[in-house]
Structure 1
Amino acid sequence: MTSNKKWRIGLYYILLLGAVMAGTMLLGVVTVVVFKYFGVIRSDESGYSIALVTTIVISVLVTFLAALMLGKNIITPVTKLSDLSQRVAKGDFNATLDAKSYISEIQTVIDSFNAMVKELGTNEALSNDFVTNVSHEFKTPIAAIEGYATLLQEKSLSEEEKQEYIEKILYNSKRLSTLTGNILLLSKLETQNIITDKTWFRLDEQIRQCILTLENRWSEKGLNFNIEMDEVWYYASESLFSTVWTNIIGNAIKYSKEESTIDITLEKGVDFVTVTVTDEGIGMSGDTLNHMFEKFYQGDLSHRSEGNGLGLTLVRRILDLCNGKAEVKSQLGVGTEFMVYLPADRAE
């Protein structure tokens, strides 16, 4: 009996194409090539149809799972980012994305977006606080000036009362002038990264001159000074450093007890030039120490009688621009030690 079956060498393969979709977005195309076997096969063999059906089912499942994974890790976070971006654009800085993605690049975008929104919210809060505080600080001396000026219009006032009101008007005028100057200077320094008006000057002589400038304030309280300073030439902005010493020494005078002593030292070391101002004043609480360099912060009630809370903010910013730093130690009822460290490579 003669067989009619024909044999040939051949290769069975199936080429499948599948579109990977996520919503209405085409993410890509999956191409699946399935080789059944290579060898001698019968020309009338029909078993390949089973392989074809099996491969189609597997391909559809793989494509579906791929679409789910890609949709969860790409499309969903991106869609949420788009919606949240519109909320942020309208001023909602509480809009954060808590989605997670196994794709590192997408997760980086999510983390960066959340960090950006947090920073914008912080800046917005600081801006609002700044405006509120500035308005309050301006309102206080202006109201005082207006009040005393109104009282001066009364004809029944004695000369002593008139003089008292005039002095209070002058005091609040100076306070207003100082506040305006500090705000303008701080605004300038916050947008400045390089100091251009550097020159060589005697640091020790500048500190002595600052003490003399403040003589009216410390002589009224009967304060004494112990001064030990090395002769140091320094290369920096002379005007900005004058602001630093005026604020630091001014605070030491302001919060010192009457007839107490203020110690001031200036030492040139290998790495730093160190200026230390120590008073025997009322001291500061731990909470005040933690916030003393913040804008408009005036600490506990004992530190709110004068000033506007900008002086030490200016000090910190100026020192930052000069690569310097400040450290403060204080104890309530004992006094405060303020240390300024300046890079020694700019000193001679």
Structure 2
Amino acid sequence: MIRSLYIRVVLTFLVSVIAGTVISFFVSTWIFEDKLNENAQINLRNFGQDVVQIYKTLPLREAESFVSGMKQLDSYYIRMYDATGQFQSYGKLNGHKSAAVSKEQLKKVLDGGVVQTTPNGIATVLLGLPIKTEMGTKAMFLETLAPPSASFVVKFGLIFASCSLIAGSLLILVASVYLVRPIKKLTKATKRIAAGDFNVKLNIKQTTEIGTLARSFEEMMHDLKQLEQMRREFVTNVSHEVQSPLTSISGYAQALKQVNLGEHERNRYLDIIISEAKRMSKMSDNLLKLSMLESQSQQPRLAILSLDEQIRRVIVALQPQWSARKIHFELDLESVKVKADHDQLNQVWTNILSNGIKFSEDDGVIHVSMEQDAQYVTVRISDSGIGIPIEDQKRIFERFFKADRSHSRKYDGSGMGLAIVKQIVSLHQGGIRVESEPDQGATFIVTLPIRPLTDS
């Protein structure tokens, strides 16, 4: 099995050139065969008429002597038949096989007719002419021995085929180097990427299919580089998020071993351990949800629902959180029905409203409004909290990212809530964005299609 692409290209070209040359030669011969035979017939007929004229003009012996000395006999072979079938030949065959003359052809010529055939293919002609002499009528048969035109064509064809094969082979040997070179670059780049090195430059400027492949490869390499960076950040963030509760659990568990520890302190330590364990469990659950959403293994179960009623129910469910801090809600909701997954959208409003409550000041106000057009409904949720810095707004929907880092200990959370929200909204073919300025609150704007395109 030939594995080298270079050898494959060369062998393919050589086979193609040889086969093409042979086919072209036979096709050309077949096309020009009639023309060559016609030329041979004309030349032979003219020569035969000259011989007939000689026998008419000169006595028989002088004519025979004159014909036997003609230089054209190098290319022609003459046979003179009498009535008995005996013949006298002029010229040498030089290894050629003379054409057979049948009795019918001989009788026809002796009777004054003319015979003309092509017995041996291209440019070989047998011509029979009657000659009247003082000894009676004779039948003269002439045939070509080495047709100049056919010989030239064959020689030319062989030389052309040889030169074509040699020149083509040399050119393909050179061209194959340039053809295979970018593929070798791609192979080396693939090995480097497999080893974890994503800083590879191909420098392939071709506009052919190879160039398209190289550009697609560079795009893939860029995506893999980003994916690897995200993977490393993910591992780092998970390690960081897990390490914090594990450290707390380990520390307070060690503290529980103290013999003289009071009942009140013991219960407080246990409550902290339980709280940290719940935090880890919630983070694990969020990771699982996000993974399922990103892999789209859990497709939305679409159903008609009243969006304004759903948001009101979420606000009521969150009452213990906002009533304890005396936060007020201002609602501007019109009746809108959409086709969506009830549970997934419920999680969207719960996460956004919980963040609004968490980051708002006491006695703050959260404004929720909704408007729709023919195809989309837009929900705006604005809080009066600490806001989000402009440089963090681009990353607010990344997993584990916490915009308010200076208050990360004050505000509990794993930083995955908004990542889940964005993924759910995307699965519903919608969009989400944030508008915010520091210390002036934040507004989350969610746009959803009333009927997703996947709805049939």
TM normalised by structure 1 equals 0.77
Q: Write the distance in 1 (CA, Å) between the matches of 2:198 and 2:205.
A: 20
1:231, 1:189 → 2: CA distance?
A: 29
1:174, 1:224 → 2: CA distance? 29
1:166-193 deviations in Å (ceiling 9; x for gaps): 4433332332222111101011111117
Q: Name the counterpart of 1:112.
A: 216
Evaluate the alpha carbon distance shift between residue 231 and residue 22 of structure 1 in structure 2; reply closer, same or farther with a 3 A threshold. closer
User: What is aligned with 1:101?
Assistant: 206
Contact 2:339 2:451 in 1 (8 A): no
Q: Please, which runs of 5 or more residues in structure 2 have no aligned partner?
A: 25-147, 149-157
Larger proportion of strand: 1
Q: Does residue 345 of the first structure (1) align with residue 451 of the second (2)? A: yes
Q: How does 1:159-174 map to 2 (within 5 A)?
A: 159-174=263-278
Letter in 1 for 2:177: G
2:430 is aligned, of 318, 324, 329, to: 324
Match of 1:149 among 250, 253, 260: 253
- Report the CA distance shift for 1:303/1:241 in structure 2 as closer, same or farther (over 3 A): farther
Secondary structure of 1:341's aligned partner: strand
SS for the counterpart of 2:386 is coil
How big is each residue's C-alpha offset from its partner over 1:229-262, in whole Å with a ceiling of 9 and x where there is no partner?
2233332211111111111011111111122111
**What amino acid is aligned across from residue 365 of structure 2 in structure 1?**
T
Secondary structure of the residue aligned to 2:394 is helix
Is 2:188 the partner of 1:83?
yes
Specify the code of the residue in structure 2 equivalent to 1:315. V
| Cα pair 2:293 2:423 within 8 Å, conserved | yes
Q: What is the alpha-carbon distance in structure 1 between the residues aligned to residue 238 and residue 444 of structure 2?
A: 27
Matched position secondary structure for 1:208: helix
Q: Which residue does the alignment assign to 1:229?
A: 333
Q: Which moved more, 1:171-180 or 1:184-193?
A: 171-180
- CA change 1:79–1:192 in 2 (3 A) is same
Deviation at 1:159, TM superposition (A): 4.8
**Alignment pair present for 1:262 and 2:379:** no
Which amino acid is the alignment partner of residue 191 of structure 2? Q
Are 2:434 and 2:445, in contact at CA under 8 Å, matched by a contact in 1? yes
In structure 2, the residue matched to 1:214 is 318
Q: Which has the larger radius of gyration?
A: 2
In structure 1, how many angstroms separate the alpha carbons of the residues matched to 2:385 and 2:376? 27
Q: Using the TM superposition, name which of 324-333 and 109-118 deviates more.
A: 109-118
CA contact (8 A) 2:366 2:384 kept: yes
Mean Cα displacement is larger for which, 298-307 or 243-252? 298-307
Q: How does 1:156-305 map to 2 (within 5 A)?
A: 156-192=260-296, 195-302=299-406, 304-305=408-409
Q: Which residue of the other structure, out of 414, 418, 429, is the alignment partner of 1:312? A: 418
8 A Cα contact 1:194 1:321, kept in partner? no
Q: Which amino acid aligns with 1:302?
A: S
Q: Residues 153 and 283 (structure 1 numbering): CA distance in 2 closer, same or farther, change over 3 Å?
A: same
* Residues in 1 aligned to 2:220 and 2:303: alpha-carbon distance in whole angstroms: 39
> Structure 1 residues 247, 22: closer, same or farther in 2, change over 3 A?
closer
Question: With structure 2 as the length reference, what TM-score do the two structures score?
Answer: 0.60
Residue pair 1:193, 1:321 contacting (<8 A) in 2 also = no
Q: Deviations over 1:282-326 (max 9, x none)?
A: 111111101111111112423533211111110110001101111
Q: Is the 2:337–2:450 contact (alpha carbons within 8 Å) kept by the matching residues of 1? A: no
Q: Which runs of 5+ in 1 are unaligned?
A: 1-20, 34-42, 44-51
- Give 1:157 deviation, angstroms: 4.1
Separation of aligned partners in 1, 2:182 and 2:270: 66
Aligned pairs, how many? 321
- RMSD value, Cα: 3.6
SS in 1 for 2:338: strand
Q: 1: distance between equivalents of 2:316 and 2:7?
A: 77
Larger mean Cα displacement after TM superposition, 222-231 or 162-171 = 162-171
- The answer on whether the counterparts of 1:203 and 1:233 sit within 8 Å (CA) in structure 2 is yes
* Deviation, structure 1 residue 69: 4.1
Moved more, 59-68 or 149-158: 59-68
Match status 1:28 vs 2:13: yes
2:228 to 124, 130, 135: 124
